[in-house]
Each structure stands twice: as structure tokens, then as C-alpha cells.
């Protein structure tokens, strides 16, 4: 049975679904949300999923976002008196899943919170009141009667350091919170239409799970020790029931590909301080675009210092989030260990975390420089709450660092192409174009020549976009942009400008005459023509995306002029 509330003005609804024996899903549907943590855009809203399991005792897995406070508790109290809930299983403490934990504990103070050790520590700072707790480790079990016995799987960094999965042996449901989820809001409770959810499933993986590919593989290995998983109850989007084997296989395949690179960058931060987690995730997204693996270290999690030394030693680059001045002895010891384990020729990037009590960033960066490390991106300073542009700056900084640590590999790849084939491929020519895009307050641009018309009905064309381009994240399915056509004999100034290597977060349009298109993207005033476009699909082509877009508006400023042409002599680079 499925029950839906009436839609409110903000299109927030609650759906309750009996998904298995004694098991009810409470799905908070956020239909209109078009951004999530500002890190990446959403085309189809999102959901926050919570689960009620009744045995001889009762367990609740996760809560919801605080924006659903009234709707969620009206629904929950319609199902059960909160004081009758014995256990609250907290998969992880990110606010979209734990935003109502404090409220629930105030209603029912006798509930026992079940979570990882790190999550309990985080909750103490979140709840600010005593509460009953049970810390679980990998393989621990909780029996609530009538056959419902939970087995816990420790899954750190998916995508927070405190994450656990919970497996109900009776129903064979695995509760995974963020892992295997997607930001996709639909009244369909399950993965009925695989084709419809595939783009969002992969996009979610690329943004949140891909940078943690090694952690994904570790979690999959631990999942393999469980009995057959019949359903994956995720924290976002539809639950996986019809395609569990296929979608977990994709996670494994994607993660094996992501984890293959021998080049590793370590991110060292204090996850519960300031905006560390979101800023670090944005940097990791940028690193992942270059195909470099990421190792995460929460300096406040009590990591073994010998393991930390070994990790720092095998990293080609390091990213360090500035900890608070009043750090615990564990954090101070971990940071000192990082400083004592670095090597010359490693790349370094440092970012402030916006917690209000950051250590001074300049002395910390100077310590790394004095030890022989090379600054791969300018220090990121946070003087106010991070904005969309801040997160975009972090993503671009991560890409710059990853490109720096793989520079030798890139040169080697260019030289590996046979001379004859290299020259033959170089005879493929194309026009010269500037792609411009804007999403929210974030804008970007890119010089392009791999552009070709692809269809008449509908009118459409394809463009190849390198995965490590800054503009790539603004060209997801449904995004709109402008293709500016450059004029033969009058393109050098624009080409020279957009060929520059911009610092992370720099304004690509400073000093360039523009006007806004109907879709908001900049039109270059000095371009020969412009076309307004919408991305319809993307095909993975190794180091590039082949982006197919339809066109719906355009104009030529000089009908008699010709498009600028780009002739190459070799095929191993642009």
C-alpha cells in the first residue's frame, strides 16, 4: 500500500510504503530541489528515505532533512508512538539524514542510538544532550526479535567517515544510506524503470562515490560476506529491488576502473569542523575528473599514526584542510605526522575550512613549502559561507593538482602514438568555437574544435569535452549552454584569451564583451554566430565525453563571413 500526502507550496511530500514484512519506508520527497550541498546540480529533485522495522522491538533507520520536520513527525506518529521505538540506527550523520535526530531524542529520550564510533562522536556535538548509545563494529549484530537480526557493515567514506550499512537477515534488505543511491524524486518507490534512472545513478556515483572508489571496493567486499542481498534500501531516490545485481555490478566495475591508477592524492581534513567535508568533496570531484585515485583521512578519527605515515609516503600529492586552532591532541598528532612524512616533489594544496577558528593558513602552507613540496594550486581562503563559486573553485583546484601529479604520464601518452598514425589523425580538421555556460552563479567557458552536426530531426550536434575541463560539470543532461562560432580572420583575440590557463575560480569573462542569452549563458559579442543548446545525452569516450545537444535558437552577425578553421598536424593533442 502507498499513501501520499497533499503537495505543499514547496512541493514537499511524504510517501509511506510497506517494502517487506514488518518494514515500512518513509520517503520524504523533495520535488523541486535543484542543488544538493551546492556541489552538483539536480535535474529531478531528491528524496530522503527513512525506515521503520518492527520485531519484538522496533528500530528506525535514519530520519530526514530538517525541512521535513512537521511532515515527517506527523507521518511517523501516525505509524507509531515515537516512545515505542527502541533503537535508532544512524547510518551516518550528514544533516540530510540526521537532521531530525535531536527532535526524535527529545520526544523519546529512552531510544538507544546505534552507530559507528565516529558517528556517536559527531552526534554528541549535534544533539547536545545525553543519550543512550551502542557503538557497532563490522560484523556486530542487533536482534530485535521475530527473525529481524541486523548485521552491520562498516563502510567509511561512503561518503562520510562514519558510515555503516545495516543488513536485516529476515527480509534480506541492506540499508546503505548514500551508497547506491541517486538524487531522483519519483512516486515510484522502486527501480522499476532502469533506463529512466541510469543517468542519475551514474551521475551520483561520479560526484560522491567515484572519488572514494577504493572505499567502495572495500564495502563491496564486506557486502560479499553477507547472505544474498535481495533489496538495497538507499537514503536517496528509489529503492533497488529489480536490478540489485546489475547496479552493484556497475559500482564494482566503475570503482575498479577508478582505483586502477597508481597515482594517489591524499585528502587530510577534520570532517566535523567548518565546511571541511563539502569543500574536500568538491576538491575530490576535481581530482577524480583526471582519473587520479583519492585517499581520505579524517584527522579527527583517531587514525593509526604508522598507517598515516605509510599513506603520506605513497601519495603523489596532498590536500590539507586547515584544522581549528583549538585542536584535540589526536588531531595535532595526526597533522604533525603528515608534516613529518612528506617528501620532496610531492604536490600540496591547502584550504581554509570556514569554521571560524581556523589555524592561520599561511604558516601551515609555508611548512610544506619549506619541506620541498610544490604548491599545485593557490591556497583557498574562506571568508564567508561557501557559495556555488567557492565549490567550483575547489573542484578546479583539485583538477589542477591532479593534472600536476600526472604531468609525466600525460607526456608519455602523447609520445606513445605511432608517428604515421599521429600525422594521419592530425589531418582531421574542425572549426573554432567557444562554449559558454552558466548554472546559478557559476559560469565557465572553453575553446573547442571537435564539434559536428549530428542530426536534422531534431536539429542537433555533438561536441567532445575532455573530462577534466572545468566546464564539464555545467554540461550534464538537461543543462543549457551557448556555442559561439568564431570568425575566420577575426578569432585570434578570443582564442588567445580562452586558451589561457585560468586559476581555480577565476572569471573566464573578465575583459571580454558579452551579453546574456535567453538561457542565461554568455554570448560573446565578437563571435560570428551563436547557437543556444540543451544537452540531451552524453557518451563516455575514455578521456572525453561526447555530448549530444539539440539547438533551439541562434543568430549570425555577419552572413557573408566564414567560420574559423583549426588545422592540426598531429593527433595526440589539440
Residue that the C-alpha cell 526479535 belongs to: 145
Q: How far, in Å, CA of 70 to CA of 468, rounded?
A: 43
Q: How far, in Å, CA of 548 to CA of 534, rounded?
A: 9
Using a cut of 0.85, tell me whether the model's pTM lies above it: no
Q: β-pairing, 317-321 with 264-269?
A: parallel
Kindly list the strands in the beta sheet with 317-321, ordered across the sheet, starting from the edge strand earlier in the chain. 293-298, 264-269, 317-321, 347-351, 374-375
The contacts of residue 125 (CB under 8 Å, 6+ apart) are 272
Average pLDDT in the chain: 90
Q: What is the pLDDT of residues 73-85, one digit of tens each?
A: 999 999 999 999 9
Q: What is the pLDDT of residues 240-295, one digit of tens each?
A: 999 999 999 999 999 988 777 678 999 999 987 888 888 998 899 899 888 888 88
pLDDT at 6 over 50: no
Where in 68-111 does DSSP place strands (E)?
87-89
Percent of residues, the chain, with pLDDT higher than 90:
67
Q: Which three cell numbers stand for residue 352?
A: 581554509
For residues 197-236, one letter each, b for 16 or more C-beta atoms within 10 angstroms of the residue's C-beta and e for the rest, the string is: bebbbbbbbbbbbbbbbbbbbbbbebbeeeeebebbbbbb
Q: How far, in Å, CA of 70 to CA of 401, rounded?
A: 44
For 359, the 3-state DSSP assignment is: coil
- Span 88-93, mean pLDDT? 93
The contacts of residue 255 (CB under 8 Å, 6+ apart) are 209, 210, 213, 214, 216, 217, 220
pLDDT at 119 over 80: yes
Of 443, 431, 445, 539, the C-alpha closest to 485 is: 431
DSSP-assigned letters across all residues of 259-275: H--S-EEEEEE-TTSTT
Q: How far, in Å, CA of 380 to CA of 504, rounded?
A: 9
**pLDDT the model gives residue 5:** 37
| Eight-state DSSP code of residue 303 | -
Of 269, 276, 256, 275, the C-alpha closest to 295 is: 269
Where in 139-263 does DSSP place strands (E)?
141-143, 149-154, 164-168, 173-177, 231-234
**pLDDT the model gives residue 507:** 93
Q: What is the pLDDT of residues 191-213, one digit of tens each?
A: 999 999 998 999 889 888 887 88
Amino acid at each position: 500500500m502507498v499513501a501520499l500526502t497533499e503537495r505543499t507550496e514547496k512541493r514537499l511530500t511524504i510517501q509511506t510504503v510497506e517494502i517487506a514484512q514488518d518494514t515500512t519506508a518513509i520517503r520524504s520527497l523533495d520535488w523541486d530541489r535543484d542543488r544538493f550541498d551546492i556541489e552538483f546540480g539536480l535535474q529531478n529533485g531528491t528524496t530522503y528515505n527513512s525506515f521503520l522495522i518492527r520485531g519484538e522491538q522496533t528500530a528506525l533507520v535514519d530520519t530526514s532533512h530538517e525541512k521535513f520536520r512537521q511532515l515527517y513527525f506527523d507521518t511517523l506518529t501516525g505509524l507509531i508512538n515515537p516512545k515505542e521505538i527502541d533503537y535508532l540506527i544512524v547510518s551516518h550523520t550528514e544533516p540530510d539524514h540526521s537532521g531530525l535526530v535531536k527532535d526524535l531524542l527529545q520526544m523519546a529520550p529512552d531510544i538507544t542510538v546505534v552507530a559507528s564510533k565516529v558517528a556517536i562522536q559527531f552526534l554528541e556535538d549535534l544533539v547536545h544532550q545525553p543519550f543512550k548509545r551502542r557503538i557497532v563494529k563490522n560484523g556486530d549484530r542487533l536482534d530485535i526479535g521475530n527473525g529481524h537480526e541486523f548485521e552491520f557493515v562498516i563502510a567509511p567514506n561512503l561518503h562520510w567517515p562514519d558510515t555503516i550499512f545495516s543488513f536485516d537477515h529476515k527480509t534480506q534488505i541492506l540499508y546503505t544510506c548514500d551508497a547506491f543511491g541517486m538524487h531522483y524524486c519519483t512516486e515510484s518507490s522502486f527501480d522499476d524503470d532502469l533506463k529512466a534512472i541510469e543517468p542519475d545513478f551514474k551521475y551520483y556515483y561520479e560526484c560522491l562515490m567515484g572519488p572514494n572508489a577504493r572505499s567502495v571496493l572495500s564495502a563491496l567486499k564486506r557486502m560479499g560476506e553477507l547472505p544474498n542481498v535481495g533489496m538495497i534500501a538507499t537514503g536517496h531516490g528509489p529503492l533497488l529491488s529489480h536490478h540489485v545485481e546489475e547496479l552493484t555490478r556497475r559500482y564494482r566495475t566503475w570503482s575498479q576502473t577508478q582505483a586502477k591508477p597508481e597515482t594517489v592524492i591524499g585528502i587530510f581534513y577534520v570532517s566535523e569542523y567548518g565546511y571541511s567535508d563539502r569543500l574536500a568533496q568538491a576538491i575530490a570531484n576535481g581530482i577524480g575528473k583526471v582519473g587520479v585515485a583519492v585517499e581520505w583521512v579524517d584527522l579527527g578519527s583517531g587514525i593509526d599514526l604508522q598507517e598515516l605515515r605509510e599513506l603520506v609516503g605513497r601519495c603523489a600529492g596532498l590536500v590539507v584542510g586547515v584544522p581549528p586552532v583549538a585542536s584535540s591532541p589526536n588531531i595535532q598528532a595526526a597533522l604533525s605526522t603528515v608534516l613529518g612524512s612528506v617528501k620532496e616533489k610531492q604536490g600540496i594544496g591547502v584550504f581554509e575550512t570556514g569554521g571560524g577558528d581556523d589555524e592561520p593558513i599561511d604558516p601551515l602552507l609555508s611548512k610544506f613549502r619549506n619541506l620541498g613540496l610544490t604548491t599545485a594550486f593557490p591556497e583557498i581562503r574562506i571568508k564567508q559561507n561557501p557559495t556555488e563559486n567557492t565549490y567550483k573553485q575547489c573542484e578546479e583546484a583539485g583538477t589542477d593538482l591532479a593534472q600536476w601529479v600526472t604531468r609525466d604520464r600525460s607526456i608519455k601518452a602523447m609520445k606513445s602514438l605511432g608517428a604515421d598514425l599521429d600525422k594521419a589523425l592530425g589531418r582531421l580538421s574542425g572549426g573554432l568555437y567557444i562554449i559558454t555556460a552558466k548554472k546559478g552563479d557559476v559560469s565557465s567557458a572553453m575553446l573547442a574544435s571537435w564539434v559536428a552536426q549530428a542530426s536534422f530531426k531534431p536539429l542537433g550536434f555533438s561536441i567532445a569535452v575532455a573530462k577534466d575541463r572545468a566546464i564539464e560539470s555545467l554540461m550534464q543532461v538537461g543543462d543549457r549552454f551557448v556555442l559561439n562560432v568564431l570568425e575566420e580572420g577575426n578569432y585570434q583575440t578570443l582564442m588567445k584569451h580562452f586558451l589561457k590557463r585560468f586559476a581555480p575560480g577565476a572569471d573566464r569573462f573578465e575583459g571580454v564583451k558579452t551579453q546574456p542569452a535567453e538561457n542565461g549563458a554568455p554570448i560573446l559579442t565578437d563571435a560570428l554566430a551563436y547557437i543556444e543548446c540543451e544537452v540531451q545525452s552524453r557518451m563516455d569516450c575514455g578521456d572525453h565525453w561526447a555530448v549530444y545537444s539539440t539547438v533551439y535558437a541562434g543568430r549570425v552577425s555577419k552572413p557573408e563571413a566564414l567560420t574559423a578553421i583549426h588545422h592540426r598536424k598531429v593527433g595526440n593533442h589539440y
